[in-house]
A and B are shown apart, each in its own frame.
Chain A
Amino acid sequence: MVEALIQGILLGGYYAVLAAGLSLMFGVVRFINLAHGDMAVLGAMIALWLVQGLGFGVGWAIMITLPVMAGLGWLMQRMIFERALRGGFLIPILTTIGLGAALQNGMFGLFGSETKSLGAYIGNLSWASWELPGGIFLGQLPVYMFLTAIVVLGALHLMLTRTAFGRAVRATASDADAAALCGIDPRRVHRGAAAIAVALAGLAGIFLALRAQVTPFAGPMLLIFAFEAVVIGGIGSLRGTLIGGIALGVAQTLGGLISPQFSILAGHVVFLAVLGWRMSQVAAADRGGWRSAWTALTTKRKMTRGKA
């Protein structure tokens, strides 16, 4: 039980990295990228190709993959997303679903359908563990991945709060037109954000390849996990994303104690519950909140309907 809880928290770091890119795209560019999971798989596939095909070490493969993914994100924002954004709400969804289908099947055509893993290339790290008091075994790889996730998200947070680019990003996120009036080029900011988001997706994909297997069609499931983490934690804050990722990871590992199938279902249930709860909060706020309704009932004061 405690072991599952710790594993869930560590897994949360991976989900937070996966979700951070999606959250950044939505928060800054107002763009829902339904191909985000497929980009993560693409990152994993590039790293796998560098290691298996070209014989690079895993560390080098990661160092090469991340800038490549960032470049790809910049390019996609420039070539596809910018144009899609002009089409309102529907067109981005249609475009990125098409992009997802193209990526999944293209990777299937290039790399085949067999599951692949980087686990065999990192020596004993994939099974090495520390023993904690109480007979709890702590895998070293999950701990390192969790620490990496914290460092990456922390660096991102510092960048957003302390640097000039971060200020530009936040200004564009809250009002792109006003930011443009202040001399910020929103398109450049959007491209930068897309580059970071896709690089984060690539890192998450590499995490997945290190701790488990990747298939070309894993993307949609990763996208769902990312969305769940984002919604559970609340959109627009990195700390929220981390908390959401950890909540999702814990829900899945605790659900996994019952049966392997129940693991993913538990994540879905937590997501839907949080979404429902949040909607009821909004609805309650529209009606003046349950507190005011309660006061109205108890003091028998007549209330006008609606916001008034």
Chain B
Amino acid sequence: MVRRKYRSQAGIVLDILEALASEGPMPATRLTYYANLPYDRLKIILESLVEEGLVERDENRYYRITDKGLEALKTLRETRKLLESMGFRL
């Protein structure tokens, strides 16, 4: 059996929101470390998170998590247990 490791879009979003919630505002370049993603791919996801109102960008190009983002993070943390129990990796 071929065993491959997958990382879901949900897992990436969870990593980004958790990093911003625990480490505070940071630029995209530093977020690449926490999200474990290349810069160009991270930027695409960050833009969609900004559009959804989960993350905002200030004038110094630092990203910070919004109240809506904190609510979303809480939901994702709750769902993580359920998804992991079904074999999905976040």
Q: Do A and B come from one complex?
A: no
Which A residues form the contact surface with B (CB < 8 A)? Answer: none
